[in-house]
């Protein structure tokens, strides 16, 4: 369920953006901080003087030749220094003496004239996800400090703990490096790091702060054969409907490997929060090839045996049971017996042309209960939010996530993720993270998800896989929310 909030946030952003073959910018999208990509409509939006900014589109070229950029604001016209050009994105440097206010960027790409709005603000810092070479996780790189580049008033949030910035180094290309100390006990190979200035938190990046982490880019990124099986119980409540569903999903794929990377995708260190921004645009294609692991996967548990049906060559799925209730008059209630109750489950694969047979076990625990669900009905973004639960264990990670959508087309969203160990019984979402989300304008624009999963999945082996496959169980509840 680690990527559940991302999938749900993107599901809210329906529709597609289409482009002609000629150079074109995404209509309605402002110039953005090149590190955070915080779009207009989000509280963190804006480009600071001296910062790198980005414009998104298609067919924008691949070299700096035949591309120019000028910024006009408050009657002044300023040249912006071009930094990089790809078919989907242009990065440029805003002059340090640019005045504050609302203006426009005029581009010329191979003779085609393009324009985009830009809002220039005093400070709007964003962090790059790339670690600074040789910094050993004690320096971050970003852009957007504005004209005041002193470290005074800059806090670095390291795995939920605040430390003062140790120093700032500015570079001619708009990047700004911030030195910081790593609090004892927070060192890891996937430490979330953010920056807070005047109460506002930047986007979050993940860095290796421990001494024994692999170097960036180390490990094989060649295609690898992987196997993942997930059993889950999900609860959703939207627009008068409430449902509980037991699901099983298995995927056996060959695709890009990430051995040696810092971060297991979607994980958040217990006791910390992350903040990310999303923009509605074309989704990238990931070149995965499905692997044949047999005609089906069998799941045997306290309520008997069920199978995961093969829906395509390497994809196996099944809805084991569902309970659906509605408060809308005249609509019937629908339900079938739920399957994933507490107990031990054995998953068996019979083997196919690409993946051999296997058998593995997992224990489904008693559910962890979110006890103050009423807080989602009206969340004050200016105050810390405490989430409470019972029946969690120290082997589990409880994750609370929230997302809110702003704008019409293209739609943009901000999302936070906070995590804590299950035995703690509570976590706090800081107001500085909540305030980074846009206020809810319409029903359905904002959601929160409470999810629980074991800290580490069960591993299994099978011929044909490049390393162990994984089996996990998770529970999640998603509710509409209001951020005010």
pLDDT digits (tens, 9 = 90+) for 133-149: 767 778 999 999 999 99
pLDDT given at position 286: 67
Task: Name the 3-class secondary structure at 389.
Answer: strand
pLDDT given for residue 175 in this prediction: 97
Nearest 5°: the CA angle 262, 268, 274 is: 105
**pLDDT tens-digit readout, 381-415:** 999 999 999 999 999 999 999 999 997 778 899 99
Cis peptide before 410 (omega within 30 of 0): yes
* Mean pLDDT value of segment 287-303: 95
What pLDDT, on the 0 to 100 scale, is given for residue 234? 96
Report the pLDDT averaged over residues 218-245.
85
pLDDT in tens, 38-84: 999 999 999 999 999 999 999 998 899 889 999 999 889 999 999 99
Task: Give the whole-angstrom CA distance, residue 33 versus residue 47.
Answer: 5
* Residue 15 predicted with pLDDT over 50: no
Question: Which pLDDT band holds residue 455 (cuts at 50, 70, 90)?
Answer: very high
HSE of 4 in the Cβ direction (CA atoms, 13 Å)? 26
Q: What is the pTM of this model?
A: 0.88
Compute the C-alpha angle 377/383/384, nearest 5°.
90
102-134 pLDDT per residue, tens? 999 999 999 999 999 999 999 999 999 887 876
**Percent helix, strand and coil across the chain, each to the nearest 5:** 5, 50, 50
Q: Count of residues for the chain?
A: 484
What percent of the chain is modeled with pLDDT above 70?
89
Q: Which residue has the tokens 């998953």?
A: 347
Is the model's pLDDT at 331 over the cut of 70? Answer: no
- Asked whether the predicted pLDDT for residue 268 surpasses 90, the reply is no
* Residues contacting 158, CB < 8 A, separation 6+: 180, 182, 183, 186, 191, 192, 193, 209
Residue-wise pLDDT for 158-198, tens only, equals 999 999 999 999 999 999 999 999 999 999 888 999 999 99
The mean pLDDT value for 94-103 works out to 97
In terms of pLDDT, which residue wins out, 282 or 235? Answer: 235
What per-residue confidence (pLDDT) applies to 5? 40
Is the confidence at residue 216, as pLDDT, over 70?
no
pLDDT at residue 1 is higher than 70: no
Q: How confident is the model at residue 281 (pLDDT cuts 50, 70, 90)?
A: low
Question: Is the pLDDT at 37 greater than 50, yes or no?
Answer: yes
pLDDT of residue 257: 62
Q: Where residue 324 falls among pLDDT bands split at 50, 70, 90?
A: confident
Helix (H) or strand (E) holding 78: strand 76-79
Q: What is the pLDDT of residue 21?
A: 75
Closest CA to 189 of 256, 257, 259, 137: 137
pLDDT given at position 284: 58
pLDDT at 342: 97
Cα distance between residue 162 and residue 452, in whole Å: 26
What pLDDT score was predicted for residue 50?
A: 97
- Asked if 203 and 225 count as a contact pair (C-beta separation under 8 A), the reply is no
Residues 377 and 160: their CA atoms lie apart, in Å, by: 26
pLDDT in tens, 416-441: 999 999 999 999 999 999 999 999 98
- Phi, psi of 20, deg, nearest 5: -80, 175
Residue given tokens 């799941």 in the structure block: 299
How far is residue 292's CA from residue 222's CA, in Å, rounded to a whole number?
Answer: 20
Q: Alpha-carbon dihedral of residues 185, 190, 196, 202, nearest 10 degrees?
A: -170
Interatomic CA distance for residues 142 and 43, integer angstroms = 18
- Residue 479 confidence (pLDDT): 93
Q: Measured between alpha carbons, how far is 23 from 56 in angstroms, rounded to an integer?
A: 11
Other CB atoms within a 10 A radius of the CB of residue 66 amount to 12
Quote the DSSP letter at residue 423: G
CA 74 to chain centre: 36
Lookup: tokens for 190: 């996937």
Q: pLDDT confidence of 285, banded at 50, 70, 90?
A: low
Q: 240 pLDDT band (50/70/90 cuts)?
A: confident
Backbone angles phi, psi at 286, to 5 degrees: -110, 125
Tokens 């298609």: give the residue.
Answer: 58
Domains of the chain by start residue, with CATH = 4-120 (2.60.40.10), 136-207 (2.60.40), 223-282+290-480 (no CATH)
Compute how many other C-beta atoms are within 10 angstroms of the C-beta atom of residue 390: 12
* Residue 282 banded pLDDT, cuts 50, 70, 90: low
DSSP class per residue in 261-328: -S--TT---TTEEEEEEEE--PPPP---EE----SEEEEEETTEEEEEEEEETTEEEEEEEEEEEE-S
Q: Compute, in degrees rounded to 10, the torsion defined by CA atoms 40, 44, 46, 49.
A: -170
Cα–Cα distance, 388 to 376 (Å, whole number): 12
What residues are paired with 244 via a beta bridge? 235, 323
Q: Which of 129, 62, 118, 71 is nearest to 90 (CA)?
A: 62
How confident is the prediction for the chain on average, in pLDDT? Answer: 89
pLDDT band at 259 (very low <50, low <70, confident <90, very high): very low
pLDDT of residue 349: 98
The CA-to-CA distance between both ends of the chain, in Å, stands at 27
């Amino acid at each position: 369920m680690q990527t559940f909030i991302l999938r749900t946030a993107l599901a809210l952003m329906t529709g597609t953006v289409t482009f002609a073959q000629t150079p074109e910018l995404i209509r309605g999208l402002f110039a953005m901080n090149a590190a955070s990509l915080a779009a207009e409509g989000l509280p963190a939006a804006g480009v600071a003087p001296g910062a790198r900014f980005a414009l998104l589109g298609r067919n924008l070229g691949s070299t700096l030749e035949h591309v120019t950029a000028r910024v006009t604001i408050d009657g002044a016209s300023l040249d912006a220094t071009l930094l990089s050009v790809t078919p989907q994105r242009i990065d440029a440097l805003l002059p340090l003496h640019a005045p504050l206010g609302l203006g426009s960027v005029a581009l010329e790409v191979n003779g085609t004239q393009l324009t985009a709005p830009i809002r220039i603000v005093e400070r709007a810092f964003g962090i790059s996800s790339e670690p600074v070479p040789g910094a050993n996780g004690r320096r971050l790189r970003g852009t957007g400090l504005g004209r005041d580049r002193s470290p005074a008033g800059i806090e670095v949030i390291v795995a939920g703990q605040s430390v003062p910035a140790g120093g700032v180094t500015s570079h001619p290309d708009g990047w700004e490096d911030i030195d910081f100390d790593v609090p004892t006990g927070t060192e890891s190979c996937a430490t979330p790091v953010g920056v807070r200035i005047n109460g506002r938190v930047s986007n979050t990046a993940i860095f290796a702060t421990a001494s024994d982490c692999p170097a960036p880019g180390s490990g094989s990124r060649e295609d690898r054969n992987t196997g993942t099986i997930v059993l889950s119980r999900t609860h959703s409540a939207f627009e008068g409907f409430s449902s509980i569903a037991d699901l099983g999903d298995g995927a056996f794929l060959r695709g890009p490997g990430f051995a040696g990377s810092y971060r297991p995708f979607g994980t958040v260190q217990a006791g910390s929060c992350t903040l990310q921004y999303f923009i509605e645009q074309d989704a990238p294609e990931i070149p995965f090839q499905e692997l044949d692991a047999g005609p089906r996967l069998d799941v045997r548990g306290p309520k008997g045996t069920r199978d995961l049906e093969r829906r395509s060559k390497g994809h196996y799925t099944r809805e084991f049971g569902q309970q659906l209730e509605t408060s809308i008059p005249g609509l019937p209630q629908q339900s079938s017996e739920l399957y994933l109750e507490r107990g031990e489950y054995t998953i068996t694969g019979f083997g196919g042309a690409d993946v051999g047979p296997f058998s593995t076990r997992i224990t489904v625990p008693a559910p962890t209960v979110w006890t103050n669900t009423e807080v989602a009905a009206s969340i004050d973004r200016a105050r810390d939010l405490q989430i409470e639960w019972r029946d969690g264990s120290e082997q589990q990670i409880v994750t609370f996530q929230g997302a809110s959508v702003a704008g019409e087309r293209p739609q943009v969203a901000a999302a936070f993720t906070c995590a804590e160990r299950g035995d703690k019984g509570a976590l706090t979402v800081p107001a500085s993270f909540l305030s980074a989300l846009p206020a809810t304008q319409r029903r359905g624009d904002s959601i929160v998800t409470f999810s629980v999963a074991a800290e580490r999945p069960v591993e299994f082996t099978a011929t044909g896989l490049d390393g162990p496959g994984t089996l996990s169980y998770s529970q999640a509840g998603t509710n509409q929310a209001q951020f005010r």
